[in-house]
A = this chain, B = another copy of it.
Amino acid sequence: MTDVALVAAPGHDDAALGVDPTTVLAGVAYANPVFTASGCAAAGQELAQFFDPSLLGGVVTKSIMLKPRSGRATPRMAETPSGMLNSIGLQGPGIDAFLERDLPWLAERGIPAVVSIAGETAEDYVKLATKVRGRKGLTMLEVNISCPNVESRGQVFACDPAAAAAVIAGVRRASSVPVFAKLSPDVTSIVDVAQAVVEAGAHGLSMINTTLGVDINTDTLRPTLANVTGGLSGPAVRPIALRCIWQVHAAMPEVPILGMGGIRSGLDALQFLAAGASAVSVGTAVFGDPHAPLRVLEELRSALAHRGFSSAAEVVGIAHRPVDARVPEGADPPGDLPAETLET
């Protein structure tokens, strides 16, 4: 018989205890670099059934809008190879209910909140930032600009550097905490959009939001999603996310990045840090494994320890530097490289 085991907090790896996991995003220190992803953890309550969310770097809440919102018709999701499409349509209770019910829940438990906001006009975003301003528990704003701009024929803000910059400039003025712009990969040049929002005042960047996809139901021969298109997420998009982060970090190494897109393991998270992210969000992986964020954190700490690093911070962006320029002190280079490639 194989072992049957209750999955709880993953077992601590002693070596991992020597690793300093803290990370700093635009001046705000977090206990570690693993967060939930917006829209994949609601506001933390449900995950608390499985593990203590205060063990994470923080909880990124589902993008909230000014008013209650019903979202789109069902079916809202389709599983695809190593990923899924969703077209939730930002269903949510609206900012007032969120501030009354959800944010206090996080604040009371000492869980750092990254509040994600979404609007239909640049003005919406400013109003949202103003409403959230100064609330207990709030540590950072993540501005979801992958929303259609109703004032510009539904063109998505994130696909238009000028519109994206306008949103960020307004939010920046209204916010007392760091402002991270969440970018869409569905653009010809993500570096252009990144530069525009950073110039407009973004303290940092979240990358990536989902990439647009379609699935056709092979029985009905109609799109699987009621909304036809949906956002692709999960391990399938990991190389795209890493590419975006790589490009933007190469162009603007000083801008902090919260990375996401297909992270399912500690080694995945390590890839994101090495590509230039200072912290990561775990999204779709939660649906397959409700313990995923905590497991990713523990696996990441072990992976860092076994590679001879004493902190998470020192690997941020390390993949941009040649190998011989950066062997950490006391390391066992080259990490887990199979002995086979070294022998005789």
Q: Number of A interface residues at 8 Å Cβ cutoff, please give it.
A: 55
Question: Which listed segment binds B: A31-39, A78-86, A130-138?
Answer: A78-86
Per the bound structure, the CA–CA distance linking A153 and B43 in Å amounts to 46
* A118 CB–B CB distance under 8 Å: no
Question: Which listed segment binds B: A6-14, A19-27, A61-69, A234-242?
Answer: A234-242
Instruction: List the B side residues contacting A307 at CB < 8 Å.
Output: 221
* A315 CB–B CB distance under 8 Å: yes
Copies in the complex: 2
Instruction: List the B side residues contacting A239 at CB < 8 Å.
Output: 78, 80, 83, 85, 213-215, 230, 232
* A15 CB–B CB distance under 8 Å: no
| Interface of A, helix, strand, loop or mixed by DSSP | mixed
Per the bound structure, the CA–CA distance linking A149 and B264 in Å amounts to 37
Partner of A319, one of B212, B222, B245, B315: B222
Nearest CB of B to A285, in Å: 11
Q: Would you call A236 and B275 a contact (CB within 8 A)? A: no
- Additional 16 contacts, C-beta under 8 A, given A81-B238, A186-B188, A221-B319: A81-B82, A82-B82, A211-B240, A213-B240, A213-B242, A214-B239, A214-B243, A215-B239, A215-B271, A218-B270, A219-B337, A221-B270, A221-B307, A221-B323, A222-B323, A229-B243
